[in-house]
Structure 1
């Protein structure tokens, strides 16, 4: 690759509080001024010197600016993840627009945290910001990655440990499965031998965690945002559901928003395989090209690519075709209820748990024990992990356990297309003052494979809201309304639907030790075995509600 001959490195750009952030700038051929592509990153801007994407931008006549976020690498200040990105983003866009090399038009690009920096800047609608293209990120990243119904995801645990110091840290753990068994969770910085890390402590201290997330909320700003947005997500990415909610609301508000949702994890369209399934060459899109064309449309008036003809361009897994929609869930999606039931018991895949449209008529409930010192293993899913694969994976190793209830439909006689947000309504009891419940939706293949489609969960203490903390009274029955992740899939004839219910998914989520102590502060001595009951009588009909497409 040719080295850049027109560039300015390590330019220090002042923010409104006097802190200076370091930028590298690469210029295209010609005298300018140029439209500018900006990427703001915590992952070391110097790495972009070798990026082919930079050359792609400059070859099309754009200047490219890459900036280290505050407190990272060459930039001054202290890294306070996400809270600083609104003002720093606005100040950087305004500074670029005033430079002689800029023609007054700035766009932004980047994935993951670099997607957050775009949404943060756009939430204030800077006049020079003409379009953003955030990938695998959403406006409520702190909520969607930190908690699922109040259950703590381990994604922010490792991210904060590795990314809040100045430099990029090598993996100090290796065996993360074992590492997450160290308790309490909110003192893992000390477990690694670090000095106490303020950002880590604030995010994971129950007394400050809710306020920490609220300080980083930007969705209200996006509601009135007039910056065109292209969101790119993978069905098996931890941020996917939040991205689809962002898109649904923005489109409803008549915002200029487009979405591409495909069969990927946190890495977009890097291959045809995700998890244990191959979705074929038709699943591949040139995401960089589509982002470039979206930006060119808003800066140069060129036509939008055909893939962005409708606001939402989504991949229907199973049929392995791309479809378009004007809203999310699609207008032709209708909710249908599937009830759980059993005759003897639904414990494990060897039980007789049933799933059908008929209301329950068999046994009134199923029971299992949840031992937090012997948790159900996480197998794939919408997981952002340093060491474990995401995606649709065979759940049978978990389903063989008696602490996993399995409810399986008859073989389908015709295709069943799902597109939207599945949700479960469970009538539950627990002997513990607090515990968790997880629901997984799987597709059972004729050869027996039980492939994860999507899942969701809820902490019993958060049954009336993720920010609430209401202990359970053993013996009380509660109706839990659990939202699963957005998905789009065709269940083929001869295949079956399966719903799993259990109380752990480790190490994807922090274990709930079933005590009165907050899960972030629990130690192994707090662990209690919980007796769990899932009701499915005529008076307490637990069910899953699926978004079924009513057209072929």
Structure 2
């Protein structure tokens, strides 16, 4: 389907003038806490639709989001009164900041107060990236919430599986630590302690300090600088603590439309797609279900250029080239007219072009199994379209004292040489003895893999627990192994992340691993590869059942016969 070209809209001088003159707006909550916001209104009398942005990063510096999303001037030019509110305990607002804890109640109170303002015409939309997306979900899942539309950018409705932990229950050290230090630095900066803020930022960006002792020393620092982080680490299972601050379970209450924007290399990528899918199928009304849209680019959490040191997806890959600002504007101002707005807009890597479809993944996409098989010659272990009749196995050794390191992928960090997010070449890791690569034959025709991938592996081990980390790559004829997506599963959580199950050394256990989402065209001569290892650190923690002992270990992946380990790959119909 051809991508429509959305014309740019010039920003009138009146919008620029309005953007320079905010008005203070205060809300007194039932417990006496005062939330403060800046309001930017179009010039001239009257009432307007409101665009609400609730942020913990200071209402005066909202546009720290990736370039090419939108601008304050554009939102005012589209006719909105724009409200930037500091959430509880941040910026100019009173109270104590505990991530996610108060956002439902505070968001609902804010909506009620806005409806009482003479400059609000009763129509309220929301917008924001990352944590600003969490604050939107917190409002829209409340029954009867007066939100018309929401623009969710690089975010998730579930903080456990979408942020702090993998869907398989492994703590995300890199992304969680980085965020906690950033919040601590922001609080220090707000308090005027610039030296403390600089110190915390330095820790967050230096692997040598942050990852010493397996990354665990940071818990002591964060207990002081971000005390809420202790709860994040201690609640390792998805228990009542996480259920209370998760919004995905309440999607059947949502009546607002949603534009879900994400990047293939953002750590919220799987959540962007799953939230779109869940609301498309299960929102409270037909209008809300029909009002869900998706945009996925070859981007990270903080960069929408599509350009990486390891790979350049071309000049057309950026948000600016797509015209994302105009897509957002079309969504928020559509008033029922959706002809110019594709249901799903996504960048197909490999072909390096934008695609649109009536759903995501495209209708007709099928999950094709590729079965793991041990090496039979010098070509290495294989991925085959059919399982072997007789069973076999592959041993995967690992040493927690020398973990397989993270190289690229879906990360929060940018600028840390070896942990940069993105499509990093994996050959350095594939040369290790503790990484086992399974590779298909060369594709004879172009094959498009679009959607969610999943590994189903049958594992045995003599250890009390083990992690199985899987990285998916596109292997070019020159040997470059470009990362597409990844995931990790914990054997003790194979039956669910809300409880642990014993690992029996005498049994073979089935482990399902969520590998995330991607869209990639494998050109003729290319190969699909998965790399299997016992760790992916510091993207994910080292298994706590093994880390203290620092003893080398191994697990066995069983293949063929009754234990046919495989990867489910979504193959689009155009293939």
TM-score normalized with structure 1 length: 0.90
Distance 1:289 1:317 in 2: 22
Q: Is contact 1:393–1:452 with CA below 8 Å preserved after alignment?
A: yes
Q: Take 2:246 and 2:84, find their aligned partners in 1: how far apart are those partners?
A: 24
- Whether the aligned pair in 1 keeps the contact of 2:398 and 2:434 (CA below 8 Å) is yes
Preserved contact between residue 169 and residue 236 of structure 2 (Cα < 8 Å)? no
- Structure 1 window deviating more from structure 2 (247-256 vs 435-444): it is 247-256
Q: Name the SS of the counterpart of 1:251 in structure 2.
A: helix
- Once the two structures are TM-superposed, the CA of residue 250 in structure 1 deviates from its matched residue by 1.4
From 143, 149, 152, give the equivalent of 2:171: 152
- Determine the structure 2 residue equivalent to 1:541: 564
Specify the SS of the correspondent of 1:151: coil
How is 1:271-350 mapped onto 2 (pairs within 5 angstroms)?
271-274=305-308, 276-284=310-318, 285-298=322-335, 303-304=337-338, 306=340, 308-309=341-342, 311-343=343-375
Is 1:236–2:265 an aligned residue pair? yes
1:430 matched to which residue of 2? 461
> What's the offset of the Cα at 1:187?
6.1
Q: 1:209 to 1:167 in 2, by over 3 A?
A: farther
1:479 is displaced (CA, Å) by: 1.4
2:20, 2:437 → 1: CA distance?
62
In the alignment, what sits opposite 2:227? Answer: 198
Measured after TM superposition, the shift of residue 477 of structure 1 is 1.5
Q: 1:415 aligns with which of 446, 461, 467?
A: 446
- Residues in 2 aligned to 1:33 and 1:175: alpha-carbon distance in whole angstroms: 46
d(CA) in 1 for partners of 2:512, 2:526: 27
Q: Distance in 2 between matches of 1:357 and 1:142?
A: 34
Asked if 1:528 corresponds to 2:541, the answer is no
Q: How does 1:60-75 map to 2 (within 5 A)?
A: 60-75=78-93
- The answer to whether the 8 A contact 1:265-1:274 is kept is no
Q: Which moved more, 1:453-462 or 1:398-407?
A: 453-462
Q: CA deviation at 1:20?
A: 0.8
Q: How many Å apart are 1:535 and its aligned residue? A: 1.4
Q: In the comparison of the two structures, how many residue pairs are matched?
A: 532
**2:511 alignment partner in structure 1:** 480
1:188 corresponds to = 218
Asked if 2 retains the 8 angstrom alpha-carbon contact of 1:513 and 1:527, the reply is no
Q: What's the CA shift for 1:184?
A: 7.8
Q: What displacement does 1:146 show?
A: 1.7
1:352 Cα deviation after fit = 1.6
Q: Decide which of 280, 294, 315 is 1:251's aligned counterpart.
A: 280
Deviation sequence 1:114-139 (CA, Å, 0-9, x none): 11111111111555322110101121
Give 2:251's aligned residue. Answer: 222
Q: Is the 8 A contact 2:460 2:557 kept in 1?
A: yes
Query: Shift in Å at residue 2 of structure 1?
Result: 6.5
Is 1:131 matched up with 2:143?
no
Contact 2:397–2:534, Cα closer than 8 Å, also in 1:
no
C-alpha displacement at 1:238, in angstroms? 0.8
Q: Distance in 1 between matches of 2:89 and 2:204?
A: 26
Looking at structure 1, the residues matched to 553 and 345 of structure 2 have their Cα atoms a distance apart, in angstroms, of 44
> Are the structure 2 counterparts of residues 464 and 136 from structure 1 closer, same or farther at C-alpha, using a change threshold of 3 Å?
same
User: Is the contact between residue 19 and residue 72 of structure 2 (CA under 8 Å) also seen in structure 1?
Assistant: no
Distance (Å, rounded) in 1 between the aligned partners of 2:22 and 2:144 = 25
Which among 13, 21, 43 is matched to residue 6 of structure 1? Answer: 21
Paired with 1:69 and 1:218, the residues of 2 have a C-alpha distance of 18
1:177 equivalent in structure 2: 207
1:240–1:208 CA distance, 2 compared to 1 (3 A)? closer
- CA-CA distance at 1:248 after TM superposition: 1.2
Contact residue 93 and residue 126 of structure 1 kept, 8 A: no
Match of residue 18 from structure 1? 32
Give per-residue Cα distances to partners, 1:217-263, cap 9 Å, x unaligned: 11232223111111111111111112211111211234121111111
Contact 2:165–2:172 under 8 Å retained in 1: yes
- The 8 Å contact of residues 186 and 200 in structure 1, kept in 2 or not, is answered as no
Q: Matches of 1:396 and 1:240 in 2, distance apart?
A: 24
Partner of 2:406: 378
- Aligned with residue 364 of structure 1, among 384, 392, 399: 392
CA RMSD of aligned residues (A): 2.5
- For 1:48 and 1:424, locate their aligned partners in 2 and report how far apart those are by CA, in whole Å: 39
Which of residues 415, 421, 427 is equivalent to 1:396?
Answer: 427
Contact 2:78 2:333 in 1 (8 A): no
TM-score, normalised with respect to structure 2: 0.86
Q: Is the 8 A contact 2:391 2:563 kept in 1?
A: no
Superposition map of 1:443-462 within 5 A: 443-462=474-493
**CA apart distance, 1:293:** 1.6
CA contact (8 A) 1:151 1:509 kept: yes
Q: Take 2:205 and 2:56, find their aligned partners in 1: how far apart are those partners?
A: 24
Give, in angstroms, the shift of residue 160 of structure 1: 2.5
Q: Distance in 1 between matches of 2:221 and 2:557?
A: 37
Aligned to 1:35: 49
2:295 to 257, 260, 266: 260
- Matches of 2:515 and 2:495 in 1, distance apart? 17
Query: CA-to-partner distance for each residue in 1:162-203, whole Å, 9 max, x for gaps?
Result: 3267455441405543344345867624246x6274311111
Mapped partners of 2:334, 2:188: distance in 1 = 37
Q: Does structure 1 conserve the Cα–Cα contact (< 8 Å) formed by 2:19 and 2:76? A: no
Separation in structure 1 between the aligned mates of residue 398 and residue 209 of structure 2, nearest angstrom: 21
Q: In structure 2, the residue corresponding to 1:115 is in which secondary structure?
A: helix
Gaps of 5+ in 1: 516-521
Post-superposition offset of 1:98: 0.9
Is the 8 Å Cα contact of residues 141 and 239 (structure 1) preserved in structure 2?
A: no
